[in-house]
Amino acid sequence: MARILFAWELGGDYGHLARLLPVARELAARGHEPLFAVRDLLGAEAILAPHQLRSFQAPLWLGQVTNLPDPISYAELLMRFGFLNARALTGICRAWGNLVGVLQPQLLVLDHAPTALLATRHLGIPRVNFGDGFCIPPVERPIPHFRWWQKENMARLHDSEQNAVANANRVLQALDAPPLVGLADLMQCEDSLFCGFSELDHYPHRATQDWLGPIFSLGQGFELAWPGSDGQRVFAYLKAGYSGLEQVLAALHGSKARVLVHASGLARQTMQRFTSANMAFSVEPLSMAQMASQCDLAVCHGGGGTTAAMLLAGKPLLLLPMHMEQSMAARRLTDLGAASAVMPEALAQLPRLLKKALGDASLSKAALAFAASHAGYDQATTIRQAADRCEAQLHKVLP
C-alpha cells in the first residue's frame, strides 16, 4: 500500500475535488491511502468527508496584491498568488515541504497547485500533474497569453514571465533546489494527466497531448421535478458572487421557459422573489445526470465539468464567464458553435440573447454533433486509466 497526497491550491468551487475524488477512490479500492491537501476545507467537508477521506489545509498565499492590471498570462495569474513576493513564496513553499515531510507520501498528484509544484520539484518524490488545459499550460517559453484570439503586448508577456521566474528561482535557491529556465519548467512532472477533450483545450494551438477525457460527478446531486407544464427546460447553475446574477435571474424569470436554478450561496429573499410557477430553486446541487438528459439549454459560467456533461448529452449552453479561465473556455465553445457567451458588458441584452439561444437550432445541432463524436466516451475507463498511470509512477519507487 502506498500513501498518495492529492493537492489542490487554486480555483474555486467543487470542480477540482470532484475530478480528483473518483481517482482517489479507485486508488483506495486498490489498497492505497489517499490524503488531500486542499484550498477549501468547506469543499472537503462536502466532497471528501462522506467517503472518509482525510484532508488538510493546503499552504496558501493569503496576501492582497493591488494595482495590477487584469492578467494576460499564466505568469501574471501567479503574481496574484505569491510569485511577486519571494519571501512570502519561500514561506509557503517551506510549509508545503513540511507538510509533505510529515505525511510522507510516496506519490504527489497536483491539481492546479503551482506553489506545491515549486516546493516539491527537488524532493525526489514522483509527481503527477493533473487537470485541464488551463491548469496545465503549454510547455512553451514564454507560456502563451490567455487571449489567443487577439494580439497582446509581447514585451509585457516576456517581462512578466521573467519576473515570475526570477522570484521562483530566489525561492529555489533558498531551498537548495535546481532553478527554472522558463515558467513552463514548473510543470515538469513524471507524468501529466490531461482531463478533458482536446477540442475544448483552453490553448487551441497546443501541440497534441494525450487527453484522457473529463472527470465530473454524475452520481451526486438531487433530482427535482421541473416547474410548470409547458415550455422549454432551462437548467441554470450560477454563482451567488456573480455581479450580474439578478439580471440573469430576471431574464430567466421573464422567459417562457421552465427553469431550475442552483445558485450556491444565494440569499433566501432573492430565491423567493424570483420563484414562480415556471421557475424553481434548489439550495443543494442538482443531479447533473438528470439536468443533462432533460434540459433544452444550460445556463452556467463555463466550468469544465458542467460543460462536458452537457455537451456529452448534446445540450447547448449559454455561458456567463466570471474570470479568464471561463472566458477562454467560452471562446472555444462558441467557436465550436455549441454555445453562445454573454460577457458582463452585454448583460442588458440577456433577455434577447436567452430567447435567441432557446430558438437557435444551430446550437443544438453543434452540441449533438459533439456528443456523436464522443458517443463511446466512458468516464469509468478514464478514471481507471488515471489510476493506472498513478500506479505506474508508484511502481518505479516501491519495492
77-104 pLDDT, tens digit each: 999 999 999 999 999 999 999 999 999 9
153 and 73 in one domain?
yes
128 and 262 in one domain?
no
Residue 286 belongs to domain spanning: 233-373
178 and 162 in one domain?
yes
185 and 95 in one domain?
yes
3-state secondary structure of 360: coil
pLDDT in tens, 184-230: 999 999 999 999 999 999 999 998 778 999 998 766 788 999 999 89
383 and 323 in one domain?
no
Angle among Cα 91, 96, 100 to the nearest 5 degrees reads 145
pLDDT the model gives residue 182: 96
Q: Which amino acid is at 262?
A: H
Query: Per the structure, how many domains does the chain have?
Result: 2
What one-character-per-residue DSSP string does 112-167 give? S-HHHHHHHTTS---EEEEE-TTTS--S-SSPPBS-TTS---HHHHHHHHHHHHHH
Eight-state DSSP code of residue 286: B
- Judge whether 291 lies within some domain: yes
Cell (9 digits) for 332: 472555444
Long-range contacts of 363-369 (CB under 8 A, 24+ apart): 363/316, 363/317, 363/337, 363/338, 363/339, 364/296, 364/314, 364/315, 364/316, 365/337, 366/316, 366/336, 366/337, 366/338, 367/310, 367/311, 367/314, 367/315, 367/316, 367/317, 367/338, 367/339, 368/314, 369/338
Consecutive 10-residue averages of pLDDT for the chain (399 residues): 96 86 97 97 90 96 88 96 96 98 98 98 96 95 94 94 98 96 96 95 89 83 91 95 94 96 90 96 91 97 93 97 95 96 94 95 97 95 97 89
240 and 203 in one domain?
no
- Pure H helices in the chain: 15-29, 41-47, 74-79, 86-103, 114-120, 154-174, 245-254, 268-274, 288-294, 304-312, 324-336, 350-359, 361-373, 379-397
- Judge whether 221 lies within some domain: no
Contact 124, 188 (CB under 8 A): no
77 and 185 in one domain?
yes
**Exposed/middle/buried for 28, CB within 10 Å: 0-12, 13-18, 19+?**
middle
Eight-state DSSP code of residue 276: B
83 and 42 in one domain?
yes
pLDDT the model gives residue 78: 97
CATH number of the domain where residue 340 is located: 3.40.50.2000
346 and 304 in one domain?
yes
Q: Give the C-alpha separation, 73 to 145, whole Å.
A: 5
171 and 290 in one domain?
no
Q: What is the dihedral of CA 44, 48, 53, 55, to 10 degrees?
A: -10
> Smallest Cα–Cα separation from 297: which of 252, 331, 328?
252
142 and 45 in one domain?
yes
Cell (9 digits) for 60: 496558501
3-state secondary structure of 101: helix
- Judge whether 90 lies within some domain: yes
7 and 139 in one domain?
yes
CA torsion through residues 290, 291, 296, 302, sign: negative
- Judge whether 16 lies within some domain: yes
> What interhelical angle do 361-373 and 304-312 show, nearest 10?
90
